[in-house]
Amino acid sequence: MAYIVVATQNEHKVDEYRELLKDQGVELRSLKEYPNFPEVEENGKTFAENAALKAVAASKYCDVPAFADDSGLEVEALDGRPGIYSARYAPTSAERIEKLLGELEGCENRRARFVCVIAIAINGEVIETFEGEVKGVITAIPRGEGGFGYDPVFQPDGYDQTFGEMAPELKNSISHRANAVKKAVEFIEDEMSVLDSDF
């Protein structure tokens, strides 16, 4: 069995990844199994750099192949902000949404995209990165209780619902993470042997 550890403390993400990888013959381990894994400072300048920092640290610490993602929301009218600072834009999810809607007040261009970059590392070295995106608009008010983060104010193109209103299965099939993970899975299927690791 191939193992891969997902380097995130976000249990929402672990659940999403477990669901996305369930038919791949890859056993997903979470950092819960490595409680002393030190927090990695995300001081990269891009999603890819931050994903790489986390994947490299986890592959070294856990001694198994690791992948990590970095993701965020890029809003066209804000020149791509909050971008890599999406998690740090304001202290809580509710405040982040309030701040975003405040910045966009009266703004006609509501275009935005979620971006996710996944990095896979083995023995402390990045072997590949994959980018996924989903485009949509920022709604006027939050709608829906599902998902996390900016989900209640993001309505993907082609749908009437926000991510917050959608069934998780639907979000998980069209999200930025899903699109990045599809590319990563194709790579994992082709390169399965690199992930075979006994420990």
Q: How far apart are CA 165 and CA 27, in angstroms?
A: 30
CB of 170 to ligand IMP, least distance (A): 13
Q: Is 74 in the site for ligand IMP (CB under 6 A)?
A: no
Angle at 153 between CA 6 and CA 136, to 5 degrees: 80
φ/ψ of residue 65, rounded to 5: -55, 145
φ/ψ of residue 119, rounded to 5: -115, 135
Q: Is 20 in the site for ligand IMP (CB under 6 A)?
A: no
Q: How far apart are CA 134 and CA 176, in angstroms?
A: 5
Q: Is 72 in the site for ligand IMP (CB under 6 A)?
A: yes
Q: Is the dihedral of CA 148, 153, 159, 164 positive or negative?
A: positive
Q: Is 70 a catalytic residue?
A: yes
Name the active-site residue from 23, 70, 79, 196.
Answer: 70
The count of residues interacting with ligand IMP (CB under 6 A) is 16
User: Which residues 83-102 are close enough to bind ligand IMP by CB under 6 A?
Assistant: 86-87
Q: Is 139 in the site for ligand IMP (CB under 6 A)?
A: no
Find the largest Cα–Cα distance for the chain: 57
CB of 27 to ligand IMP, least distance (A): 22
> Which residues are CB-contacts of 30 (< 8 A; sequence separation ≥ 6)?
5, 6, 8, 11, 14
Tell me whether residue 2 or residue 14 sits nearer to ligand IMP (CB atom).
14
CB of 83 to ligand IMP, least distance (A): 9
Tell me whether residue 86 or residue 139 sits nearer to ligand IMP (CB atom).
86
Contact positions toward ligand IMP, by CB under 6 A? 10, 69-73, 86-87, 114, 147-151, 163, 175
Residues designated as active site: 70
